[in-house]
């Protein structure tokens, strides 16, 4: 992570998955994740148009994040320093079941549960404590950016005054979250 | 756009035309749907299976007892009316070479006249024009209706098929059939040896390149049977192989006994060709 991830002007934070199946170039005739997509659209639609920065996981986050912003009518990403909202693009372990892309790793459930609890309760400290190395082993694409979010909020000394876990599911053995935080 | 009577279809749509025989003696089903009720059940079944078109025929293609105009009309006209009433959205095609029969079925609600004997009765196109129906123009190499090929030869069978079908198509447009309502069909097995039908399949892209939408009728035919040395009941795999090649070359309409299997093959080929997205796309992307 280079540069600041959180500007003082940012009051809204949204977490969305970075699954490439969300992208139109990979779409089938039938949307494989209609509920997830609806949750993303609804949550992003509350953000200010043209004032959203991305905190994307390094592999797919940028491409998926830009598409989701455009899809929600938010325009393209802006620089962190100019942003009033931050969209963190990353998700949980891809090793949650035997059918999961990375096959079953028994540690995945606990790893994801800790992140999920933190997102639900607005616990920035818990996010800042995410074990990024374990996250890599568990194919959790969002481990690094979620940890960076937690660390940035803790470092800024700002409070999470509202937290909402809008959607959490793992239809293909990968944990997807849509969460919303409001910073004081 | 392809306009088949009351229905229109996009230029990249592939269509299943299900064969419905009102005959006691057709080669594949041997009279299984000769009884009107059985034929009606067949229509209901293929519509349920997703066939966009039913092709109703009252006379088998092979030689046999002569069936006159009145007898042919008795077999198909009232049946067309019944299908029209029960299935308002299905495209009704009638396989006939006779203009008089064509007129009667169009009055009963047919959308498409499948002139399987290559323009034997020039008035058939006039009837199609009169009712704003669609027309299939086939190539049978000058064969008379209900004759088997005997010592047929072509300098170039594909060139002959293109010349005849395109000529018939233009003639149909000339007498008033809508340009978007004309299909061409090389007519596998009709006036052709097995090698002719194989060559037409191999070079179907040349017919597609004429710009006219191409219909193929491959289902369980003798060219498949001879190629694999298999009797009528064992030709599905060979039929589907030929179907895949025809689909790859750009055929648009597939006249078939087996709707479900053919639809799967044609959809699979379209997705390989890149013209049809997979239904689901999750593998490697979750």
What DSSP string runs through B100-150? Answer: HHHHHHHHTT--EEEETTSSSSTHHHHHHHHTT-EEEEE--TTPPTT----
Q: Residues A2-23: what's their mean pLDDT?
A: 92
Q: Say which of A26, A29, A171 has its CB closest to residue B285.
A: A26
State which residue of chain B sits closest to A176, comparing Cα positions. Answer: B286
Domains of chain B with CATH codes: 2-273 (3.20.20.20)
Provide the pLDDT for residue B114: 98
Q: How far apart are CA A46 and CA A61, in angstroms?
A: 20
**Distance of residue B279 Cα from the nearest chain A Cα, in angstroms:** 4
Angle in degrees, 0-180, between the axes of helices B69-86 and B36-48, rounded to the nearest 10: 40
Confidence class of residue B234 from pLDDT cuts 50, 70 and 90?
very high
Q: For a pLDDT cut of 70, what percent of chain A falls above it?
A: 98
Whether residue B175 has pLDDT greater than 80: yes
- pLDDT above 50: residue A100: yes
In the set B221, B235, B252, B263, the catalytic residue is B221
Query: What mean pLDDT comes out for the span A72-82?
Result: 94
Give, in order, the Cα–Cα distances in Å from A174 to each of A97, B141, B277: 8, 61, 24
Residue A42, SS3 per DSSP = helix
In the three-class reduction of DSSP (H, G, I as helix; E, B as strand; rest coil), residue A165 is classed as strand
Size of interface A-B (CB pairs under 8 A): 34
- Note the pLDDT tens digit of each residue in B115-152: 999 999 999 999 999 999 999 999 999 999 999 999 99
- Domain limits, chain A: 12-183
Specify the length of chain A in residues.
184
CA–CA min distance B254, chain A (Å): 23
Cβ partners under 8 Å of residue B267, min gap 6: B14, B276
- The Cα of B58 is separated from the nearest Cα of chain A by a number of Å equal to 39
> Residue B277: which of A27, A101, A172 has the nearest Cβ?
A27
Helices and strands (H, E) in chain A, number of each type: 6, 5
A-chain CB neighbours of B281 within 8 Å are: 21, 26-28, 32
In chain B, % of residues over pLDDT 90: 99
Instruction: Report, as an integer, the average pLDDT of A90-97.
Output: 98
Of A20, A21, A29, which has the smallest distance from its Cβ to B279's Cβ?
A29
Structure confidence at residue A70 as a pLDDT band (50, 70, 90): very high
pLDDT of residue B251: 98
Bridge partners, A52 (sequence order) = A85
Q: What is the mean pLDDT of residues B168-174?
A: 98
Three-state SS string over B245-274 comes to: HHHHHCCCEEEECCHHHHHHHHHHHHHHHC
Pairing outcome for strands B91-95 and B53-57: parallel
CATH fold for domain A12-183: Protocatechuate 4,5-dioxygenase; Chain B (3.40.830)
User: For residues A4 and A80, is the Cβ–Cβ distance under 8 A?
Assistant: yes
pLDDT for residue A182 is more than 70:
yes
* Summary mean pLDDT of chain A: 96
Name the band, by pLDDT with cuts 50, 70 and 90, for residue A1. very low
Q: Give pLDDT, residue B169.
A: 98
Q: Which residues of chain A have a Cβ shorter than 8 Å from any chain B Cβ?
A: 19-21, 26-30, 32, 94, 101, 171-174
Contact A32 B279 (CB under 8 A): no
> What integer is the mean pLDDT of A39-52?
97
| Nearest C-alpha neighbor of A95 from the set A29, A22, A2, A172 | A172
Average pLDDT over residues A94-123: 98
How much is the pLDDT for A38?
98
Is B3 considered catalytic here? no
Q: What is the pLDDT of residue A3?
A: 67
Q: Where does chain B show beta strands of DSSP type E? A: 2-4, 7-9, 15-21, 53-57, 91-95, 112-115, 134-138, 182-185, 215-217, 253-256
Tens digit of pLDDT for each residue in B52-71?
A: 999 999 999 999 999 999 99
**Is residue B64 within a helix (H) or strand (E), and if so which, with residue range?**
none
Q: What is the pLDDT of residue A4?
A: 83
């Amino acid at each position: 992570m280079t540069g600041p991830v959180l500007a003082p002007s940012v009051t809204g934070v949204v977490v969305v998955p970075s699954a490439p199946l969300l992208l139109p170039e990979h779409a089938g005739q039938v949307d494989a994740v209609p509920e997830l997509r609806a949750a993303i659209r609804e949550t992003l639609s509350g953000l200010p148009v043209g004032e959203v920065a991305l905190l994307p996981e390094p592999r797919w986050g940028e491409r998926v994040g830009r598409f989701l912003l455009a899809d929600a009518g938010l325009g393209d990403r802006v620089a962190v320093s100019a942003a009033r909202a931050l969209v963190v693009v990353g998700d949980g372990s891809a090793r949650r079941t035997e059918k999961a892309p990375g096959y079953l790793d028994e540690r995945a459930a606990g790893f994801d549960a800790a992140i999920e609890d933190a997102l639900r309760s607005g616990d920035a400290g818990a996010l800042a404590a995410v074990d990024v190395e374990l996250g890599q082993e568990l194919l959790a694409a969002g481990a690094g950016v979620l940890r960076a979010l937690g660390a940035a909020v803790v470092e800024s000394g700002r409070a999470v005054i509202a937290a909402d876990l809008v959607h959490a599911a793992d239809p293909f053995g990968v944990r997807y979250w849509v969460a919303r935080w409001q910073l004081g | 756009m392809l306009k088949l009577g009351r229905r229109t279809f996009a230029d990249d749509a592939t269509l299943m035309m299900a064969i419905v025989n009102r005959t006691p003696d057709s080669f594949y089903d041997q009279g299984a749907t000769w009884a009107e009720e059985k034929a009606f059940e067949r229509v209901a079944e293929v519509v349920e299976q997703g066939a966009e078109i039913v092709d109703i025929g009252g006379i088998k293609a092979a030689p046999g007892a002569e069936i006159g105009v009145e007898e042919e009309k008795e077999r198909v006209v009232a049946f067309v009316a019944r299908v029209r009433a029960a299935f308002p959205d299905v495209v009704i095609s009638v396989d006939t070479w006779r203009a008089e029969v064509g007129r009667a079925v169009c009055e009963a609600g047919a959308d498409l006249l499948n002139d399987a004997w290559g323009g034997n009765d020039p008035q058939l196109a006039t009837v199609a024009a009169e009712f704003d129906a669609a027309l299939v123009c086939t190539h049978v190499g000058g064969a008379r209706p209900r004759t088997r090929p005997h010592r047929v030869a072509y300098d170039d069978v594909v060139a002959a098929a293109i010349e005849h079908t395109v000529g018939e198509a233009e003639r149909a447009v000339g007498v008033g059939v809508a340009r978007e309502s004309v299909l061409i069909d090389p007519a596998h097995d009709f006036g052709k040896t097995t090698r002719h039908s194989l060559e037409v399949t191999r070079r179907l892209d040349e017919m597609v390149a004429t710009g006219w939408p191409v219909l193929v009728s491959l289902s369980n035919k003798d060219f498949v049977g001879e190629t694999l040395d298999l009797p009528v009941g064992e030709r599905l795999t060979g039929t589907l192989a030929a179907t895949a090649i025809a689909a790859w070359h750009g055929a648009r309409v597939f006249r078939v006994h087996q709707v479900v299997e053919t639809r799967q093959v044609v959809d699979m080929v379209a997705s390989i060709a890149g013209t049809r997205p997979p239904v689901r796309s999750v593998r490697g992307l979750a």
